[in-house]
Amino acid sequence: MTRTRRPLRSNFEPGSTRWAVRRAQWIAMGISEEDFAKPKIAIVNTSSRLSVCYQHLDRLAARVEAAIRTAGGLPFEIRTAASSDFVTSAGRQGRYLMPTRDLMSFDVEVQIEGAELDGMVLLSSCDKTTPAHLMAAARLDVPSIVVTCGYQLGGSCGGKSVDIETLYNSVGSYKAGEIDLAQLTEMSRVAITGPGVCAGLATANSMHVLAEALGMTLPGNAPVRAGSERLDGICDAAGRRIVEMVEEELRPRDILTPAAFRNAIRVAVGLGASVNVVRHLAATAREAGLDLNIVAEVEAAAAQVPLIARIRPNGGTRIEDFDEAGGCLAALKVLEGVLEPDAMTVSGRTMGELLREVGAPRSPHLATLEAPFSPDPGLAIIRGSLAPDGAVVKVAAIPRRIRRFSGRARVFENEADAIERLAPGHAERVRKGDVVVLRMMGPKGGPGTVFAASFMAALQGTELASEVAVVTDGELSGLNSGITIGQVMPEAAEGGPLAYVENGDEIAIDLDRRSVDLLVDLDEMARRSAVPVRLPEAPRGWLAIYRATVGPLSRGAVVGDAAQMDPARD
């Protein structure tokens, strides 16, 4: 792309107050005066010593910094908040996780817009980091590249492969008495053997892949092993490319178009990505100022795109197998016939131009559109009287033999209570055929979406795992499998039907018909819904602010109104 070069916004008027005081600051920092006129690029580093997801980012930031300097830019590393779904989830049942996504996006905004920098390279790692970075890029609309920073590897225990998914599911086996604490402890010692995000197509790897499908990473970025030479090379290339993008005036909103989102959604459906990607894509589209119904787009894609991969937890393919098969680029090539080729990417080339250079994948881990692993989509939206605005289900993780399920509701508004009812011998134990309803766990109800994955982990490994359905407005892990209906919309706290389910009500799920219904007559529902919903008390601080300002799940649960936050473009 060629454009008329405009003055850099970071080059302040000589003699102005902000020009003078910034010069004084930078000279005192040892920055040479000849660097002052160069493009000023932020390296957004979410490095944290709390989680293995981030422990390698400082080294990657240094590579990006060196590449920016070589390309003629002036780099500035900035630090932001960061969260880890398996560490930050400890407090308040994971209620801080979803709100941290928006907090990170505002953190980036404050530092980039406050300093009026010219571009940014965003080092993305754990689940909430990639969507936060995409949201910030879409909102600020300064030249941006996302670098997804790779997946971790697992180890072995007792002669068997073990990774974080194995450990996660083994918690249920321990609760059920099938393994002892010593075995679980030993597995925890070897489940992670290097830096990076959780193995498998959970939310982190799903969002890494979709960032590339959107065109916001350099081609070939996802998935990639953390600590690999290939990831080092991607960082070097990103540092060079961002300087070119500033010169070209190639901005995120040139890339984050409706065509880009439709391409990413088709990849998500074809791979069976995490159910959580729907809210993150919706949030990013909203920040990009698009009037695009992501839920409806997922529905449309599910009617068109079959399952082309079986990446764990959807099957036996490991994330490193998918990487070796060609990763996102290979999946895009398989789906080329249903993609929109004119979508622009950060490379400066369109998706169609990139894919013309990619050969047809030849791997047992990728199928074709003509001969898919399953004619069903990997990800789908289901609707009905219990979810009039839709709910998200990972069809790929549910065996065909249990596509229909009907049972009595067991309602919980506290995840710990639900986990307690899984214990063998409990007088009020969850039983075969029940539909467990976990509610008041959505963004507004929590407040901050409750990480309902702890219940799912406890359920896995028990004899009830394939005999119980779960319906929730809380947040699920991308590692979840089984009859799990997530992101029920509207959430209970918004007065959705989920708020009025009572113990013993019958709930019917039919994945073939894409339906989830509460079998209660209309007069009874009218009587119940006449009673206002009572929200749980919100603690003081960030969670209270989040509840007061967060939007609905169907639009991405974005804090504030994106239309009012858009910086003016001239």
Instruction: Indicate if 418 and 326 belong to the same structural domain.
Output: no
- Mean pLDDT within 97-110: 94
Instruction: Indicate if 413 and 300 belong to the same structural domain.
Output: no
Percent of all residues in the chain with a pLDDT value above 70, rounded to a whole number? 96
Instruction: Indicate if 390 and 339 belong to the same structural domain.
Output: no
In degrees, rounded to 5, the angle at the alpha carbon of residue 206 between the alpha carbons of residues 365 and 193 is 80
Model pLDDT, residue 87: 80
| Contact of 63 with 239, CB cutoff 8 Å | yes
Instruction: Indicate if 529 and 431 belong to the same structural domain.
Output: yes
Give me the helix-helix angle, 229-248 and 57-70, nearest 10°.
40
563 part of a folded domain: no
> For 124-183, what is each residue's pLDDT tens digit?
999 899 999 999 999 999 999 999 999 999 999 988 889 988 888 788 788 777 889 999
- Mean pLDDT within 533-555: 89
Reduced to 3 states, what is the DSSP secondary structure of residue 455?
A: helix
- Mean pLDDT within 522-551: 91
Beta bridge partners of 437: 411, 471
Q: Residue 396's pLDDT band (boundaries 50, 70, 90)?
A: confident
Q: Mind telling me the catalytic residues?
A: 477
Model pLDDT, residue 92: 75
362 part of a folded domain: no
Weakest-pLDDT range from 331-340, 388-397, 452-461, 504-513: 452-461
- Provide the domain limits for residue 304: 35-153+194-356
| Contact of 157 with 187, CB cutoff 8 Å | yes
Model pLDDT, residue 60: 97
488 part of a folded domain: yes
| Contact of 536 with 547, CB cutoff 8 Å | no
301 part of a folded domain: yes
Instruction: Indicate if 141 and 244 belong to the same structural domain.
Output: yes
Model pLDDT, residue 1: 44
> For 338-388, what is each residue's pLDDT tens digit?
999 999 999 999 999 999 999 999 999 999 999 999 999 999 999 999 999
- In the sheet with 119-124, reading across from the earlier edge strand, the strands are 74-79, 40-45, 119-124, 144-148
Q: How far apart are CA 274 and CA 50, in angstroms?
A: 24
Q: What is the CATH number of the domain that holds 527?
A: 3.50.30.80
Q: Residue 37's pLDDT band (boundaries 50, 70, 90)?
A: very high
Q: How far apart are CA 107 and CA 130, in angstroms?
A: 14
Instruction: Indicate if 403 and 276 belong to the same structural domain.
Output: no
529 part of a folded domain: yes
Q: How far apart are CA 1 and CA 18, in angstroms?
A: 33
| Contact of 142 with 119, CB cutoff 8 Å | yes
In degrees, rounded to 5, the angle at the alpha carbon of residue 266 between the alpha carbons of residues 263 and 268 is 110
Q: Residue 461's pLDDT band (boundaries 50, 70, 90)?
A: low
Whether 409 has a pLDDT exceeding 50, the answer reads yes
Q: Residue 449's pLDDT band (boundaries 50, 70, 90)?
A: confident
Give me the helix-helix angle, 203-213 and 327-334, nearest 10°.
60
Q: Residue 20's pLDDT band (boundaries 50, 70, 90)?
A: very high
> For 226-246, what is each residue's pLDDT tens digit?
999 999 999 999 999 999 999
Model pLDDT, residue 537: 81
Q: What is the CATH number of the domain that holds 263?
A: 3.40.50.2300
Whether 427 has a pLDDT exceeding 90, the answer reads no
- Mean pLDDT within 44-49: 90
Instruction: Indicate if 445 and 488 belong to the same structural domain.
Output: yes
Instruction: Indicate if 394 and 289 belong to the same structural domain.
Output: no
Whether 5 has a pLDDT exceeding 80, the answer reads no
237 part of a folded domain: yes
Instruction: Indicate if 488 and 543 belong to the same structural domain.
Output: yes
Whether 75 has a pLDDT exceeding 80, the answer reads yes
For residue 313, is the peptide bond before it cis, meaning its omega torsion is within 30 degrees of 0? yes
Instruction: Indicate if 69 and 214 belong to the same structural domain.
Output: yes
**Greatest CA separation found in the chain?**
78
Q: Residue 85's pLDDT band (boundaries 50, 70, 90)?
A: confident
467 part of a folded domain: yes
Reduced to 3 states, what is the DSSP secondary structure of residue 305?
A: coil
Q: Specify the number of domains making up the chain.
A: 2
> For 477-525, what is each residue's pLDDT tens digit?
655 667 889 999 999 999 999 999 999 999 999 999 999 999 999 999 9
And the tokens for 26?
């930078």
- Mean pLDDT within 178-194: 92
> For 250-307, what is each residue's pLDDT tens digit?
999 999 999 999 999 999 999 999 999 999 999 999 999 999 999 999 999 999 999 9
Looking at per-residue confidence, does 89 or 117 come out higher? 117
Instruction: Indicate if 339 and 441 belong to the same structural domain.
Output: no
Model pLDDT, residue 3: 46
- The residue behind tokens 């070796």 is 324
Instruction: Indicate if 504 and 421 belong to the same structural domain.
Output: yes
Model pLDDT, residue 411: 97
Model pLDDT, residue 293: 96
Whether 208 has a pLDDT exceeding 90, the answer reads yes
119 part of a folded domain: yes
